[in-house]
Amino acid sequence: MSEPQLRSEPKRRGLAVAKTKDIEKSAVEKAYDRWAPVYDLVFGPVFERGRRASLAAAERVGGRILEVGVGTGISLPDYASTNTIFGCDISDAMLDKARARVSELGLKHVEGLAVMDAEHLDFPDNSFDVVVAQYVITAVPDPEAALTEFARVLKPGGEIVILSRVGAEAGLRKTIEHWFQPAARKLGWRTEFPWERYANWASQMPNIHLVERRTIPPLGHFSLIRFGKTAATAKTGIKVSRAANG
């Protein structure tokens, strides 16, 4: 686990980055509608290691879990049946695959599946013990808005578990990510996504703290990122958290 450097960048710069909407929601939705028939074949094994890491993190907290960008529901059979999972996604075609999976495998721990935008979650505040987003954040037009929604629907003491690409800060990988960015956008995601965006978002959320940030082998292009939500008392400012140690 590498220790967080949350407040390293000035807020203003972060806000300027956050305001840039470089991908369109309708384009992302269409891209994933097209990916749906072959998604599991193409992205099933490649992303497996990361999914296992994020499920393990989610289940350390356990309880009622929201998986945002659940896609074809590829992770659903792997959650322990002691948890309750709600899956949402912007692509109905991806969700059709998830619905079929739930019914074919009789996954009783899946509470529901719904078309929903990560930036506008249709749940009351403090609804879930864990919010999971695997390989989703870089596909959302306004990732900071989505993260704020995750924090809103999360119960105090709960965790946001994110598995996502964090852009390289220098070197060959940064050059490749920059070069590949226009093509990636058409496929439905960004290759360039600096850690600074998470850091600036979290620094503006009084009840959110970084629990863990670690790269996922073998290449380290993807990271597991965990944020905890604290219950802050208005008078004393004392924060109460039951978040797991990184």
Residue 117 as a binder of ligand SAM (CB under 6 A): the answer is yes
Shortest Cβ 47–ligand SAM spacing (Å)? 5
Q: Contacts with ligand SAM in 85-114 (CB under 6 A)?
A: 89-91, 94
Residue 135 as a binder of ligand SAM (CB under 6 A): the answer is yes
Q: Tell me if 97 sits within 8 A of 39, measured CB to CB.
A: yes
Shortest Cβ 50–ligand SAM spacing (Å)? 8
Residue 32 as a binder of ligand SAM (CB under 6 A): the answer is yes
Residue 134 as a binder of ligand SAM (CB under 6 A): the answer is yes
Q: Locate 42 and state its tokens.
A: 């193409």
Residue 14 as a binder of ligand SAM (CB under 6 A): the answer is no
Residue 28 as a binder of ligand SAM (CB under 6 A): the answer is yes
Shortest Cβ 111–ligand SAM spacing (Å)? 17
For the chain, what is the HEC assignment? Answer: CECCCCCCCCHHHHHHHHHCCCCCHHHHHHHHHHHHHHHHHHHCCCCHHHHHHHHHHHHHHCCEEEEECCCCCCCHHHCCCCCEEEEEECCHHHHHHHHHHHHHHCCCCEEEEEECECCECCCCCCCEEEEEEECCHHHCCCHHHHHHHHHHHEEEEEEEEEEEECCCCCHHHHHHHHHHHHHHHHHCCCCCCCHHHHHHHHHCCCCEEEEEEEEECCCCCEEEEEEEECEECCCCCCEECCCCCC
Residue range at the interface with ligand SAM (CB under 6 A); choices 6-14, 25-33, 149-157, 168-176: 25-33
Residue 168 as a binder of ligand SAM (CB under 6 A): the answer is no
Q: Contacts with ligand SAM in 59-88 (CB under 6 A)?
A: 68-71, 74-75
Residue range at the interface with ligand SAM (CB under 6 A); choices 78-86, 99-107, 129-137, 170-178: 129-137
Residues in the interface with ligand SAM (CB under 6 A) total 24
Query: Site residues (CB under 6 A) for ligand SAM?
Result: 25, 28, 32, 43, 47, 51, 68-71, 74-75, 89-91, 94, 117-119, 134-136, 139-140
